[in-house]
Amino acid sequence: MNALRRDAGWWALLLPAFLLMTVLYVAPIVQVLAISVTEPQPGFGNYERLLTNAGVQRVIGTTLRVCAMTTALALLLGYALSYVIALARPAVQRYWLLVVLVPLWISVLVRAFAWVTLLRQQGLVNQGLQAVGLVDEPLRLVWNEFGIVVGMVHYMVPYAVLPMLAGMREIDPRLLAAARGLGASRRAAFLRVFLPLSLPGLVAAGVLVFIFSLGFYITPAILGGGKTLMAAEWIKLQILDLVRWGMGTMLATVLVVAILATLVLFSRVVDLNRLFGGARA
Amino acid sequence: MSGTAAAGHALDLRGLTRRYGTFTAVRGVSLRVERGQFLTLLGPSGSGKTTILMMVAGFVPPSEGQVLLDGADITPLPPERRHFGMVFQGYALFPHMTVAENVVFPLRVRGLGRAERDGKVRAALDLVQLSPFAERRPAQLSGGQQQRVALARALVFDPALLLLDEPLSALDKKLRAELQDELKALHRRVGRTFVNVTHDQDEALSLSDRVAILNHGRLVQFGAPAELYERPRTSFVADFLGKSNFLRGTVRGAQGGAAVLEAGATRIAQALPDGAALPSGAAALLSLRPEKIAVLAEGEGADTVVGGRIAAWSYLGADFALDVRTDDLGTLRVVLPSWRAPIRPAEGMAVRLGWTADAAVPVEEDAAA
Ligand SMILES: Nc1ncnc2c1ncn2[C@@H]1O[C@H](COP(=O)(O)OP(=O)(O)O)[C@@H](O)[C@H]1O
Ligand SMILES: [Mg+2]
C-alpha cells in the first residue's frame, strides 16, 4: 500500500515532463504521419512512390550505403581507439578520453566546413598530394559520397568509442594474462578472449552509430554540396522548396519506422538499457 | 595426464630480484625445487610471493637473476612458450565459455586435433570430478567448483609446472580444508611439480614438501615443513609458522652441546644441536612452542622449571590454551591437551611449568620484525 502511494508520487512528478513530451514531440510526429496519408489526396499514394519513383529509391539507396560505410569505418576506428584506451594505465586513459571527447564540443557546422576546406580541389590534402607527386590532377574528395563519409565518420567515432569502451572496461585484464599463460599468443588471446567479450559493446555501438547516421542533416548537406542527396536533406527539399508535404512526410515516416525497427531488432541482441547509459539490471 | 610418477621438472631460482622504480619487491631469491615436489611460497601480504610466481610464469621480467627449468635458462621465454599451468588468484575463468570450452582452451591454442582434445578434456574433468558440469558457464558454479575448473584447465595440457596463486583463499573455511586435501591428492596422482602461493600457514604445512618463507621480498628460510617448524632460524619464521613464545636470557656457561641461560632468578637449560654455539655472556633469544610446555604435577621435575599464575585460559575442545604470567619470562602461552589434563584451569591458579632442554631453539632476531 505504502509502495503504491509512493509510486503514485513518482508518477505525479513525471507528469509535467510527460505532457510536454506529448505536446511538443509526439503530437507533431503523429501529425507528420497523418499528412503522409492525406496530402495531396487521401490514401497510400505517397507510399506507392517508394516502389515506383526512381528518385526516392536512389535517395534511400544512398542513405543506406553512406550509413553502412560510416558505421563500419567508425566502428573500426573506434574499436582500435577503445582497445588502446582500455588497456592503458589509468593516468593515460584520462588524456585519451579527453582527446576522444573534445570534438563533441566543437559545432558540427564548424567541423563540416573545416573538412570542406581540407578536402576541396585547392585544399590542403590535394595540394599535399600534388606536391609529393602522388597525383597529377586534384582528386574529387568532397561534394560526393566520399566527402560525406569522411565528415560523418569523424563525427561518429566518439559515439562509437563510448559504448565499446564501457564494455571493454568490464573485461578483467587477468583473463588476457590467463590466456597467455595457458599457451595463447597475443593474437589468439585477443581473438578468442578479448574480442568475444567486447562483442556486446561493439553491437551496441553499431546500432547507436547507424541510427544516428540515418537522420544526419548538416554534415551531408555541406559535404555533399547538394549533389549527393541523403534522406534528411531530401525531406527538407520536398517540404521547403517543392512544397510537396505528402512526399516529405512519407519519407520522414519511413525513417522513423526504420529506426524503431532497428531498435526492436537489436533489443533482442543487446541490452538497450546499457546502450543508452543506464545501469545494468 | 599420463599420471606417471616424477613426470615433473626441477625448478631453480637464482638470485631473482624485481624492482619497481626505487622499490625492491623481491630481493635475491634463490632456491631449488626437485622433480615432482610441492613448493609453497609463504609470507604475509606484500612480501613478494605473487611477484616471484609471475617471474616464474614469465609475466614479469626479473630485474636480475634467472629462472632455470631442468638446468636450462628460461628467463627470456614469453609465458605462452613455457608451458606452465597456472591457477590465478580469483581463477580468471573465461566467462563467455562453458566449463568444457574453458578446459579445452589450452589444447585448442596448441592446435591439437579434435579426437585428442576430447579425450584429454574428459580425463581432466574426471580428475576434478566435474564431468556433469561440462556444459555450464563459470557463473553457474560454486566457488569450489570454479576452483576445480581452473585446476583442470591448468593441468589438461600436461604442463611442466603447475603454478597456483592463493588457490584456496577465496573459499570458506570448511571448503578450504576439503579442497586442501583434494589438492594434495591431486599432486600425488599427477606427479607434477607444483608451486603454490599462500599466506595461510596451515595450508603451507599440510600440503608442501618444501616451504619458502618470505618477508619484505627476501627469502628468510627454505626447507621441509617440519624442519621450519622445529628449527626456525629467525623469530619471524617462528612466529609466522605456528605460534611461539620468545624467551630472552643471558648465556651463562655453554659447553658440549648444552648451555644455561639466566633470566632473572630463572635458569633455563638449553640443548645446542648441530654444534651451534652461544657465546658466554651474550644475550640470547629462544623460541618455545606452546605445546612443548608441560604443566607439572606435584613433585614432578623437568630440565627447566618456572612458576607462574594463570592470567587467562580458554577451552578449545581438544586443548586448553593457558596464558601463564611468570616473574622472569613474561607471559607464556601453554597448550595443554584437555584429555586427562593434570589440572582444571582457573584464573589466578598457581602452576609450575616445565620443559626439556631440547624443546626450545635459539633464533636470530629479525631486523625488521
Ligand atoms: N606492478 C607493480 N608496480 C609497483 N609495485 C608493485 C607491482 N606489483 C607488486 N608491487 C609491490 O610489490 C610488493 C609485493 O607484491 P606481491 O608480490 O603482490 O605480494 P604478495 O603476493 O606477497 O602479497 C608489494 O608491496 C606491491 O605493492
Ligand atoms: Mg599475491
pLDDT tens digits for chain A (281 residues)? 566 666 777 778 888 888 888 888 888 888 888 899 888 888 888 888 888 888 899 999 999 999 999 999 999 999 999 999 998 988 899 999 888 888 888 888 888 888 988 888 888 888 899 888 888 888 888 888 899 999 999 999 999 999 999 999 999 989 999 999 999 999 999 999 999 999 989 988 999 999 989 988 888 888 888 778 889 989 988 888 888 889 999 999 999 898 888 888 887 776 655 555 444 33
Calpha distance A193→B195 (Å, rounded): 26
Residue B60: closest CA among B51, B71, B69, B47 = B51
Using a 10 angstrom Cβ sphere, with 0-12 exposed, 13-18 middle and 19 or more buried, the burial of residue B91 is buried
- Residue B36 is predicted with a pLDDT of 93
Query: From atom 10 of ligand 1, which residue's Cα is the shortest distance away?
Result: B25
CA distance B366 to B233: 10
Q: Which of A141, A140, A158 is nearest to A149 (CA)?
A: A141
Residues B222 and B228: their CA atoms lie apart, in Å, by 8
Query: Whose CA is closest to B290, among B331, B342, B327?
Result: B331
Give the position of cell 506507392: A48
Convert the pLDDT of each residue in A70-121 to its tens digit: 999 999 999 999 999 998 988 899 999 888 888 888 888 888 888 988 888 8
- How many Cβ contacts (< 8 angstroms) between chains A and B? 58
The closest residue, in CA terms, to atom 25 on ligand 1 is B46
Q: What is the pLDDT of residue A111?
A: 87
Residue A110 main-chain phi, psi, to 5 deg: -60, -45
Helix axes A245-267, A27-36, angle to 10 degrees: 120
The beta-carbon neighbor of A175 closest among B94, B106, B154 is: B94
Please state the separation of Cα A12 from the chain's center in Å.
34
Q: Is the CB of B221 under 6 A from ligand 1?
A: no
- Tell me the ipTM for this assembly: 0.76
Pairing of strands B283-288, B23-33: unpaired
Q: At a CB cut-off of 8 Å and minimum separation 6, what does B229 contact?
A: B205, B241, B242
Determine the Cα–Cα distance for residues B347 and A64; give it in Å rounded to an integer.
88
- Quote the CA–CA distance of B258 and B47 in Å, as a whole number: 36
Indicate the SS3 state at residue B265.
Answer: coil
Beta strands in B34-144 (DSSP E): 38-42, 64-69, 72-73, 84-87
For the CA of B51, the closest atom of ligand 1 is 17
Cα B192 to middle of ligand 1, angstroms: 28
Specify the ligand 1 atom closest to the Cα of B43. Answer: 22
Backbone φ and ψ for B64, nearest 5 degrees, come out as -145, 160
CA distance B213 to B220: 6
Look at residue B1 in the predicted model and tell me its pLDDT. Answer: 43
Structure confidence at residue B127 (pLDDT): 86
HSE-CB for B340 with a 13 A CA cutoff: 0
Q: Is A12 helix (H, G, I), strand (E, B) or coil?
A: helix
- A42 near B CB under 8 A: no
Q: Residues, chain A, total?
A: 281
Contact B80 A181 (CB under 8 A): yes
Predicted local confidence at residue A278, as pLDDT: 45
Determine the atom of ligand 1 nearest the C-alpha atom of B20: 4
Q: At what angle do helices A54-87 and A245-267 cross, to 10 degrees?
A: 40
Please, which residues 56-75 of chain A have a Cβ atom closer than 8 Å to chain B?
A: none
pLDDT tens across the length of chain B (369 residues) = 444 444 679 999 999 999 999 999 999 999 999 999 999 999 999 999 999 999 999 999 999 999 999 999 999 999 989 999 999 888 999 999 999 999 999 999 999 999 999 999 999 999 888 999 999 999 999 988 999 999 999 999 989 899 999 988 878 888 888 888 888 998 998 889 999 999 999 899 999 999 999 999 999 999 999 999 999 999 999 999 989 999 999 998 777 778 899 999 999 999 987 767 788 888 999 999 999 999 998 888 899 999 999 999 999 999 999 999 999 999 999 999 999 888 899 999 999 999 999 999 999 988 654
- Rounded CA gap, B180 and A146, in Å? 65
B80 near A CB under 8 A: yes
B48 Cα–ligand 2 center, Å: 7
The pLDDT of residue B247 is 95
Reported pTM:
0.79
Only one residue has cell 625492491, namely: B24
Q: Evaluate whether B332 touches B353 at the Cβ level (below 8 Å).
A: yes
Q: How many residues does chain B have?
A: 369
Q: Tell me the domains of chain A and their CATH numbers.
A: 54-275 (1.10.3720.10)
Nearest CA in chain A to B80: A183
C-alpha cell, A90: 589509468
B157 vs A: CB within 8 A: yes
